[in-house]
Amino acid sequence: MPPHSAAEPSRQCKVAVIGAGAAGLVAARELRREGHDVVLLEQQGQLGGTWIYTDEVDGDLLGRDASRRRVHSSMYQGLTTNLPREIMGFADFPFSTAAMAGSSIDARRYPCSEEVLRYLQAFAQHYHLTELIRFNCQVQSVQHAPAAPAAPAAAAAAGPPDSSTAADIPWKRWEVQWQQLPAATSPASSSNPPSPAAAVAAAADGSMYTELFDAVLVCNGHYSEPKLPQLPGAEGWPGLLMHSHNYRSAERFKGQHVAVLGASFSGQDVARLVAQQAACVYLCAREWTTQQQLDAGRGGAAANIQRRGMITQLNAAGGAEFAVGQAVPQLDAVICCTGYNYSFPFLDLQALGLSTAQQHVAPLFQHMFVPGQGPGLAFIGLPWRVVPFPMFELQAKLCGRVLSGRASLPPAAEMAAWVQQHDKLLAAEGRPPSQSHYLDYKQLEYHAWLASIWCLEWCDGVFCQRLLRETSPPPGAGQFILAQHALAHPRLWRHFLDDKAKP
Ligand code: FAD
């Protein structure tokens, strides 16, 4: 059901946005455009999240020790984007070399991570978002404020929220507790010019602060908490075991025999990079279940990459056995590119009626809202196998409008029914609950739902212009639909992927 829309905002909220990565930044822009008062809380000393490269790694390379020293970003040397830059930009501020005039260092269609970081910095500068960020502020807890007033404080001037804007759920305020980390020890220290808030932060000493907000947008990313496969024999195995979250560069694998577990985007990419230094890389996947599929990998990009099934046994002598393919007598390292878990250490999931037990966040209406909690708590960026930046932007626009009263959520029962229907559909498709936020081709439908109340505004943007020129759009379709069509066009994708190989 498309959200209800109204012409004028009727409410101004004080909103905490947790995280100044791509999702948090565009959320801040959309919220401010909608008239809200925004505070961006960021644990690191600079903006950019995932796109900040650091040599630092977690205290435990596999990520099993819950009390380990943590680094947020999983970025590594040699990464180039897996999407063309034309679809990695936000509307009104395309990720083109022109938009970043003077600062672009990598004009390729699939640029390096530093170029994406520069784009996000340029975006933040252009929309004056840096002044909203409190750097080195790590959110420790988010919970309902004890005696919640009926409406956001700022709403007094505009009148209390009506039932159409808050659905059937009473408005709840949130108490956000955050710790001011000393700048030098926060994950990945700043190279940004300090904002006034950052200047305060620099003087701080680990103190805790509590502040009330009308709404909280959770934009903390989901590529930091390693998900591990079963590794029988790992305890006595003498080699190096690590998760790709802590992979930084291939140099340490020079001349070694390395198994890379998982052959999705990061597994393939890491295998390709490590193979430039290693003697041999064994790229292990569940999907390669026959000798034919193993053989299909031969003669590929790197002659020293061999395919194997997943590891079934690591032995004390240093070798490994695989579900499919010949055992290897001596391996030096295993890199698990096996994905990430959703993690919200600052939320009391149980109190909110949420769970991440099945590797997705449930129950959530449209991957964003908790049925029964109203519009004051929302998650941005949970879906995967998507084109992330445009999706963040659309989700953020919806949040901004729901909070301002220009759109409304359905009643709680309807949201819960949507979740049930979504789960049923997933099961009917034979997919596990862990794929609940996996969108893939369904992202087009999802974008259309998100955009359904501001499609015209979106259509005026320059989003995907280049893609649109290179595909054959259906006659009479709006610009937004055209962009979706372009994204879905398999021939076009192939063209872009071929292009990635070019300098
Ligand atoms: P992040 O970028 O992770 O930002 C979250 C922010 O929240 C961080 O700054 C973090 O410090 C902060 N934070 C977390 N917890 C707290 C807390 N308690 N208090 C305060 N702040 C907190 N996407 C693409 O579109 N193209 C690509 O080519 C691509 N390649 C990728 C390669 C890798 C290796 C990885 C890991 C991801 C890649 N992605 C790619 C996906 C990418 O993560 C998203 O595009 C996007 O950058 C995620 O943005 P985000 O804001 O949701 O999360």
Q: What is the pLDDT of residues 425-469, one digit of tens each?
A: 999 999 999 999 998 878 777 877 787 655 434 433 334 444 445
**430's tokens:** 């034979």
Interface predicted TM-score (ipTM) of this complex, two decimals: 0.99
Any idea which residue has 């879906």 for tokens?
Answer: 383
Residue 484 pLDDT class (50, 70, 90 cuts): low
Which ligand 1 atom is at minimum distance from the Cα of 140?
18
Please give the distance, rounded to the nearest whole angstrom, from the Cα atom of residue 299 to the centre of ligand 1. Answer: 34
- Do 50 and 114 lie in one domain? The reply is yes
**Is residue 220 within 8 Å of 382, Cβ to Cβ?**
no
Beta strand 14-18 with 37-41 is parallel
> Is there a single domain that holds both residue 209 and residue 279?
no
For residue 102, what pLDDT is reported?
Answer: 76
Lowest mean pLDDT among 37-46, 208-217, 398-407: 398-407
Task: State the pLDDT confidence band at 159, using cuts at 50, 70 and 90.
Answer: very low
User: Among the three residues 304, 336, 368, which one is the final residue of a domain in this structure?
Assistant: 336
Residues 177 and 211: their CA atoms lie apart, in Å, by 7
pLDDT confidence of residue 289: 62
- CATH number for the domain that contains residue 431: 3.50.50.60
Q: Return the C-alpha torsion angle 190, 196, 200, 202, nearest 10.
A: 20
Q: Residues enclosing ligand 1, CB less than 6 A?
A: 18-24, 41-44, 49-51, 72, 74-75, 79, 81-83, 88, 138-139, 219-221, 223, 266, 346, 381, 388-389
> Are 332 and 357 contained in the same domain?
no
- Rounded to the nearest angstrom, the distance between the alpha carbon of 24 and the centre of ligand 1 is 9
Atom of ligand 1 nearest to the CA of 220: 7
Q: First and final CA of the chain: distance in angstroms?
A: 45
The residue whose CA has the least distance to atom 41 of ligand 1 is: 388
> Which pLDDT score is estimated for 456?
36
Among candidate residues 315, 336, 357, the one where a domain is terminated:
336
Residue 248 pLDDT exceeds 90: yes
* Closest to 281 measured CA to CA, from 333, 235, 246, 353: 333
Indicate whether 251 and 132 sit together in one domain.
no
Mean pLDDT of 10-29: 96
Ligand 1 center–CA 82 separation, angstroms: 14
Task: Give the C-alpha separation, 227 to 126, whole Å.
Answer: 36
Residue identifier of the C-alpha nearest atom 22 of ligand 1: 19
Radius of gyration of the CA atoms of the chain, in A: 23
Whether 418 and 354 share a structural domain: yes
State mean pLDDT over 16-24. 98
Ligand 1 mutation pick, 29, 50, 135, 140, max ligand atoms within 8 A of CB: 50
How far is ligand 1, taken at its centre, from the CA of residue 148, in Å?
A: 32
Interval 194-206: pLDDT, tens: 444 444 444 456 8
The fraction of the chain above a pLDDT of 70, given in percent, is 77
What per-residue confidence (pLDDT) applies to 184?
60
Ligand 1, atom 15, lies closest to the CA of: 220
Q: Is residue 99 part of a domain?
A: yes
pTM over 0.95: no
